[in-house]
Amino acid sequence: MKGEHFSVDTKSAGRLMGLRWGSTGNRPVLALHGWLDNAASFAPLAASLRGVQIFALDLPGHGKSDHRPPGTRYHLMDYVPAVLEAADALGFTHMLIMGHSLGGAIAGLAAIAAPERVRAMILIEGLGPLSEPEAKLPGRLRDSVAGYARVHKRTEPVYPDIETLVASRARVGAMSEASARLLIERNVHQHDDGYRWCSDSRLRLDSPAFLTEPQVLMCLKAIAQPTQVLLGNDGMLTKRETLSPRLEALNSKDVRWFDGAHHLHMDHPEVIAAAATEFLSQFVP
């Protein structure tokens, strides 16, 4: 299910591309993918969702969207205005958001930054930003600055075929090859000498600062919107000691567990779509 292409212009992140699925007139849902993924992340789910339109963005620097200008960074907080500006361009004065992983963290921050805009959220394998103790900040800042200074000296990698990339993505991401192929095909472009990434290589560099865990908990406590949390039994969050305190801070009345790993919405779309459809049916267009 390939979806219909769309684009929006934002002040803070340039042109963002995306994919849309669903019938015009159904309630719109803004979908935000995970780190190094893209809008195709929601293609399997969109095929099973009922009664909604999915507007899946390629986040800045990801997929087919613009890269940030030279000298700028990809910091978590900078995604928030870009997403809100994209919603403005799409005409979403009030919106439902579905976020996976990084997209879930961005969704939660958007709900805090613009509570009057966000009606409800679905968080798939995402429950707040990454965190680390404040003692690690000096070293993180030092490594981040050094990494950005070296980025201009790097040679863009070239790959001879897509199959190698698909197999690698499936292995690293613990996902099916069919799911990996959807992400890879939207994230490469072909040249005479092989395939190159569309996504910005700077996305892989260290962030200059993380929130501390107490800051993340305060953010989760500040989310007042109805929020559904969908987690994989073999996902990235299940073994983290921060999971229980974060769930308690969010105080969601709809937390569900499913068989599957971090990309369970791609590998097991039917059961995730059923849960999401039930939750979203509460909210009329």
Lowest-pLDDT choice from 32-41, 70-79, 111-120, 121-130 = 70-79
* Structure confidence at residue 185 (pLDDT): 96
Residue with tokens 């800045």: 60
Helices assigned H by DSSP within 30-136: 43-46, 76-90, 102-113
Read off the pLDDT band of 209 (50, 70, 90): very high
SS3 191: strand
Task: Report the distance separating Cα 177 and Cα 162, nearest Å.
Answer: 12
- Amino acid sitting at position 211: L
The whole-number pLDDT of residue 195 equals 94
Instruction: Please give the helix or strand (H or E) that residue 31 lies within, else none.
Output: strand 27-32
What is the pLDDT confidence band of residue 191, given thresholds at 50, 70 and 90? confident
Whole-number pLDDT of residue 141: 95
Per-residue pLDDT, averaged over 173-202, amounts to 94
pLDDT of 193 > 90? The answer is no
Residue ranges of domains in the chain: 4-137+208-280
> Is pLDDT of 39 > 90?
yes
Mean pLDDT of 196-205: 94
Q: Is 101 a catalytic residue?
A: yes
Tokens 């500040």 sit at which residue?
A: 222
Tokens of 109: 């921050």
Let me know the angle formed at the C-alpha of 241 by 235 and 245, rounded to the nearest 5 degrees. 105
Asked whether the predicted pLDDT for residue 152 surpasses 80, the reply is no
Phi, psi of 235, rounded to the nearest 5 degrees = -80, -175
Model pLDDT for residues 84-97, shown as the tens digit of each residue: 999 999 999 999 99
Question: Which residue pairs from 216-221 have beta carbons closer than 8 angstroms and sit at least 24 positions apart in sequence?
Answer: 216/128, 216/129, 216/131, 216/242, 216/246, 217/128, 217/245, 217/246, 217/249, 218/249, 219/108, 219/109, 219/112, 219/128, 219/129, 220/108, 220/127, 220/128, 220/246, 220/249, 220/250, 221/249, 221/250, 221/251
Q: How far, rounded to the nearest angstrom, does the alpha carbon of residue 123 sit from its chain's CA centroid? A: 10
Residue type, 172: V
Q: Does 192 score more than 90 pLDDT?
A: no
Q: How far apart are CA 136 and CA 211, in angstroms?
A: 11
The pTM of the whole model exceeds 0.95: yes
- CATH fold group of domain 4-137+208-280: Rossmann fold (3.40.50)
Tell me how crowded residue 105 is: count the other CB atoms within 10 A of its CB.
26
**pLDDT score for 157:** 86
Mean pLDDT of 118-122: 98
Active-site residue, selected from the candidate residues 41, 101, 179, 199: 101
How high is the mean pLDDT of the chain? Answer: 95
